[in-house]
Amino acid sequence: MSIIESLNWRYAAKKLNGEKVSDENVSKIIEAARLAPTSSGLQPFEMVVITNQELKEKIHKLSFNQSQVLDCSHLIVFAAWDHYSLDRINHYFDHYETERKLEKGFSDGYKNGVSKHLTALTTEQQFEHAARQVYIAFAFAMAEAAALRVDSSPMEGFLPNELDELLNFKAQGLRSVLLLPVGYRDETNDWQVHLKKVRKHTNHMVHYIK
Ligand SMILES: Cc1cc2nc3c(=O)[nH]c(=O)nc-3n(C[C@H](O)[C@H](O)[C@H](O)COP(=O)(O)O)c2cc1C
């Protein structure tokens, strides 16, 4: 099935019906995010998959009571590294060399360049850089969900500092960036279900230089 067809099918569901998404489909949605490209391949983020209702209730309160957080099947929290440490960068390149069966130190030149560039940024800029990678992976996860005909709802509307505290992210060197509740649309109670998708016209967005 075409990805365009799936993207036309999807919408940011505002109310889900509580039906469970299979573990197999949740794994595929997460796998799409794992396979997303990231700057230098560092994958500076983690995902936390929450099904615990008590915890969902607490996050609901930190998300301006947005219903999707409560009625989703799984709530996926996307969290970025709060900074790029040499440890984190070394860990990635060690893994890279092992996976590709390269001689240890093979990527040192490139690694040193990446380290120098990233660690010269302020801590906030480092987090923002990592967060940008999260958005790419997040989009892949939403696209895979749509391809599976699982609904999802992209969400930036929550209190990140409070959520970081609740999930003990600081101790893990993480900061929350986005929420992705997944489930199935509530056809009766979601006012958005039957509304036309609104997008700018292509000729207002794309310019060809020949
Ligand atoms: C990064 C991001 C954050 C968003 N945050 C919220 C949110 O917190 N609550 C919400 O109801 N919708 C949220 N949306 C949904 C957008 O409003 C929606 O995607 C947009 O209006 C286009 O509509 P569609 O996704 O239904 O096609 C968010 C979308 C994105 C991409």
pLDDT of residue 94: 97
Q: Domain limits of the chain? A: 3-84+121-204, 85-120
Kindly state if the Cβ of 156 falls inside 6 Å of ligand 1: yes
Instruction: Please state the rounded mean pLDDT for residues 105-115.
Output: 97
90: Cβ contacts below 8 Å, ≥ 6 apart: 111
- CA 55 to ligand 1 center in whole angstroms: 22
In which residue are the tokens 């906030």 written?
A: 124
**CATH of segment(s) 3-84+121-204:** 3.40.109.10
Is there an atom of ligand 1 within 6 Å of 64 CB? no
Q: Is the CB of 181 under 6 A from ligand 1?
A: no
Mutate to test the pocket of ligand 1, among 64, 153, 192 (most ligand atoms within 8 A of CB): 153
Query: pLDDT by residue (tens digit) across 39-49?
Result: 999 999 999 99
Most ligand 1 atoms within 8 A of CB, residue of 155, 178, 186 to mutate: 155
* 123-147 vs 108-119: helix crossing angle, rounded to 10: 110
Residue showing tokens 């009625």: 71
User: Which pLDDT score is estimated for 147?
Assistant: 98
| Model confidence pLDDT, tens digit, residues 49-90 | 999 999 999 999 999 999 999 999 999 999 999 999 999 999
With 0-12 / 13-18 / 19 or more C-beta atoms within 10 angstroms meaning exposed / middle / buried, residue 14 is middle
Q: Count of CB atoms within 10 A of residue 22's CB?
A: 11
Ligand 1 centroid–CA 112 distance in Å is 38
pLDDT tens digit sequence for 173-183: 999 999 999 99
Give the pLDDT band of residue 111 (cuts 50, 70, 90): very high
CA of 48 to the centre of ligand 1 (A): 20
Ligand 1 atom nearest the C-alpha of 197 is 27
How far does the centroid of ligand 1 lie from the alpha carbon of residue 168, in Å? 26
The separation between the first and the last C-alpha atoms of the chain, rounded to the nearest angstrom, is: 32
For residue 1, pLDDT beyond 70? no
Distances (CA, A) of 202 to 140, 172, 206, 208: 22, 42, 6, 11
**Closest Cα to atom 24 of ligand 1:** 11
Nearest CA owner, ligand 1 atom 5: 155
Q: Is the CB of 84 under 6 A from ligand 1?
A: no
Q: Tell me the pLDDT tens digit for each residue of 125-170.
A: 999 999 999 999 999 999 999 999 999 999 999 999 999 999 999 9
At how many degrees (to 10) do helices 108-119 and 86-99 cross?
150
Question: Where residue 2 falls among pLDDT bands split at 50, 70, 90?
Answer: confident
